A = this chain, B = another copy of it.
């Protein structure tokens, strides 16, 4: 007889409430905790939806009571019983008003003492958690993270589907990309010496789907990148990938902000007002020193370059008078007293991390201006600068003078760091923002050439097309990012859809015509046969769910993540293979001496 025979589950532990009083229920789940009080055994029984209390009473059923005494932690059980109101309620759990008076108990499986506790706040090492991931995932927090992730993908799929998008799967076994360093490679057995590349994104395929008239495509797609796993990256990650034909920038932004709004409202009951603000890249840098500004707080950058040209302070003056350099400051309004000298030094360290040589500061205290640099200024110049930053009693002003890039980076990060230290980041605030008009190119100092800031398929803005030939660094792209509280949720662009423009782009990026055709010939060829204008966007699903779940790492929302050495501590992947398999692939391992 099957161990499940005759026991039909009626619902989940975590769903029972006062409304179920008097009902006979059948529950299946795990023993969270068991307390033997001599003539009565209380068991906290857990399933995906929560915990409820089961009572085994010696005076009612002697055999059942004795059997319940056997139960250990994480035993798997089926219980039949009647729901009744608890004498002493427990307001700390959802089902604290009720308990189930057991009339039948079936032990479905036993458990050895688990190596980690099944509770949210168990402080064990990350590695142990990942080795016993199947136990770690039993924690209520983890179960909720995956229920949330599922909800988000369902909302996305239904929303896009309702809006005419078709989900189409693109290949995982693709072609290695030209700058292959970041591709995972898969040796082909049938085509010896050749390799598939795992996709870093479905970019080319989704553009081809637009060429093929699929009109609106999406995919929740696995992507792969073989890079060093600093900063909470994973070798495989998931994108919400979209592409639309016959659109301009605002069409994409409109449909995607509605999607995010729906996700926030249906998962967190957070309602945002639409449209979400649009801000150009230039404005984002000027005001926040970042292309993904956190707009939940102020401390905006102020440009004092003009005033610094003859201010008397050599460091400011020399920066203010050089091209591509500037002097900017932020005002930590009202927080003068929150930063000691030591505190300011800590902020300066942040600035230095991003290349600044120092962080100049002016405190405006009850007693007046305190500052190591004030002595270099005339009183008038000092006042001009303070006024420019709207400095008042109680404020702390911070300055960096350097190359623009360094100034933005340093002050942008000091701004965030200060806000974190002041604990003024409201985690219940959801400040969404579109950043637009990104530069088309970045100049790569090492390679001494332009590289695409988004990717080589991004269309320049029409009004900047002529600058392609004269001043590429000034060309703005039809590219956009969606930003939430200072984190990039996703980005995309309107694409080039014309063979000639695409070839010109490759040329500007340093590909010869031959190289371009060798590497992207199929796309350039496709563009000849009636390619519609198109554009799209991709969101990082892992990061989005992490933010919604208020978690610190994407590993909390990936069921079986790899560790920082790209190893799965549970299965020990990657693993060894045998020589026969390698021979079939015509490859060999090169041992290092």
Report A's interface with B, CB cutoff 8 A: 1-5, 9, 28-31, 46-48, 74-76, 78, 108-112, 114, 132-138, 143, 146-147, 149-150, 153-154, 157-158, 161, 166-176, 180-181, 183-198, 204-205, 208-209, 211-215, 222, 224, 226, 228-229, 235-236, 238, 245-249, 251, 462, 494, 497-498, 522, 526, 528-533, 558-560, 562, 565-568, 570-578, 580-581, 583-592
A114 to B135 alpha-carbon distance, docked (Å): 57
Whole-angstrom CA separation of A14 from B9 in the bound complex: 49
Task: Pick the contact of A248: B2, B134, B576 (CB < 8 A).
Answer: B2
Known interface pairs A166-B146, A212-B134, A213-B48; A4-B574 also in contact (CB < 8 Å) = no
User: Would you call A112 and B574 a contact (CB within 8 A)?
Assistant: no
Query: Bound complex: CA of A573 vs CA of B173, how far in Å?
Result: 8
Task: For the complex of A and B, list the 8 residue pairs with the smallest distance between their C-beta atoms, beginning with the closest.
Answer: A137-B212, A111-B530, A175-B573, A74-B530, A194-B574, A28-B246, A134-B211, A188-B574
**Does A173 contact B236, Cβ atoms closer than 8 Å?**
yes
With both chains docked as a complex, state the minimum distance between the C-beta of A9 and any C-beta of chain B, in angstroms: 6
Q: Which residue of B lies closest to A4 (CB)?
A: B248
Measured CB to CB, the nearest residue on chain B to A136 is B212
A103 CA / B191 CA spacing, docked (Å): 55
CA distance A520 to B284 in the complex (A): 52
Given A5-B248, A575-B175, check contact A530 B30 (CB 8 Å): yes
Indicate whether A212 sits within 8 Å of B3 (C-beta atoms), given known contacts A189-B226, A572-B175, A588-B588.
no
Q: Are A586 and B575 in contact (CB under 8 A)?
A: no
Taking a contact as CB atoms under 8 Å apart, the answer to whether A167 and B188 are in contact is no
Identify which of B154, B196, B566, B583 contacts A161 (C-beta below 8 A). B154
Contacts of A169 in B (CB 8 A): 222, 238, 558-559
How long is the Cα–Cα vector from A189 to B245 in the complex, in angstroms?
38
CA distance A174 to B577 in the complex (A): 13
Bound CA–CA A222/B574 (angstroms) = 19
Complex Cα–Cα for A299 and B171 (A): 42
Residues on the B chain within 8 Å of A570, using CB: 208, 522
Closest chain B residue to A5, Cβ basis: B248
Question: In the assembled complex, which residues on chain B have CB atoms less than 8 Å from the CB atom of A589?
Answer: 192-193, 586-587
Give which listed residue, B112, B137, B213, B566, contacts A30 with CB less than 8 A. Answer: B213
Of B9, B147, B161, B590, the contact of A586 (CB 8 Å cutoff): B590
Evaluate contact between A186 and B184: CB separation under 8 angstroms.
yes
User: In the complex, which of the residues B189, B498, B568, B575 contacts A109, with contact meaning CB atoms closer than 8 Å?
Assistant: B498
When distances are taken between beta carbons in the complex, the residues of chain B under 8 Å from A248 are 2, 4-5
Q: Chain B residues near A249 (CB, 8 Å)?
A: 2
Please tell me if the beta carbons of B30 and A172 are within 8 angstroms of each other in the complex.
no
Q: Which of B3, B76, B174 contacts A530 (CB 8 A)?
A: B76
- Chain B residues whose CB sits within 8 angstroms of the CB of A168 once the complex forms: 146, 149-150, 559
Residues of B within 8 A of A154 (CB): 157-158, 161, 167
B residues near A176, Cβ cutoff 8 Å = 573-577, 581
Known interface pairs A133-B208, A531-B109; A566-B166 also in contact (CB < 8 Å) = no
CB-contact partner of A108 in B180, B187, B533, B577, under 8 A? B533
- Closest B residue to A573 by beta carbon equals B175
B530 touches A576 (CB 8 A): no
A493 to chain B, nearest CB (A): 13
Residue in chain B with minimal CB distance to A245: B28
Question: Do A134 and B526 form a contact, CB below 8 Å, given A4-B247, A47-B213, A109-B497?
Answer: yes
Q: What B residues does A112 contact at CB under 8 A?
A: 528-529
Contacts of A174 in B (CB 8 A): 568, 571, 573
Contact present for B188 and A108 (CB under 8 Å): no
Q: Give the residues in chain B near A167, CB-CB below 8 Å.
A: 150, 153-154
A-B pairs with beta carbons under 8 Å apart, 16 shown: A109-B497, A111-B529, A134-B529, A149-B168, A168-B559, A169-B558, A172-B172, A175-B571, A176-B577, A176-B581, A184-B196, A190-B228, A195-B576, A195-B577, A205-B560, A587-B590
- In the complex, the answer to whether B529 meets A170 with C-beta atoms within 8 Å is no
Closest to A581 in B: B180
A190–B573 CB distance below 8 A: no
A591 and B587 alpha carbons, distance in the complex (Å): 9
Closest to A48 in B: B215
Residues of B contacting A181 in the complex (Cβ-Cβ under 8 angstroms): 580-581, 584
Tell me the complex Cα distance, A109–B532, Å: 7
Asked if B109 contacts A573 (CB within 8 A), the reply is no
Instruction: Say how far A513's CB is from chain B's closest CB, in angstroms.
Output: 18
Q: Return the chain B residue nearest A215 by Cβ.
A: B48
CB <8 Å contact, A185 and B109: no
Bound Cα distance from A580 to B589, whole angstroms? 15
A24 to chain B, nearest CB (A): 17
Query: What CA separation (Å) do A211 and B108 show in the bound complex?
Result: 13
CA distance A5 to B250 in the complex (A): 10
Chain B nearest CB, measured from A120 CB (Å): 14
**Interfacial chain B residues near A188, Cβ < 8 Å:** 566, 574
- In the bound complex, what is the Cα–Cα distance between A5 and B238 (angstroms)? 33
| CB nearest neighbor in B for A526 | B134
CB distance from A592 to the nearest CB of B (A): 7
Interface centre among A181, A195, A247, A580 (most CB of B within 10 A): A195
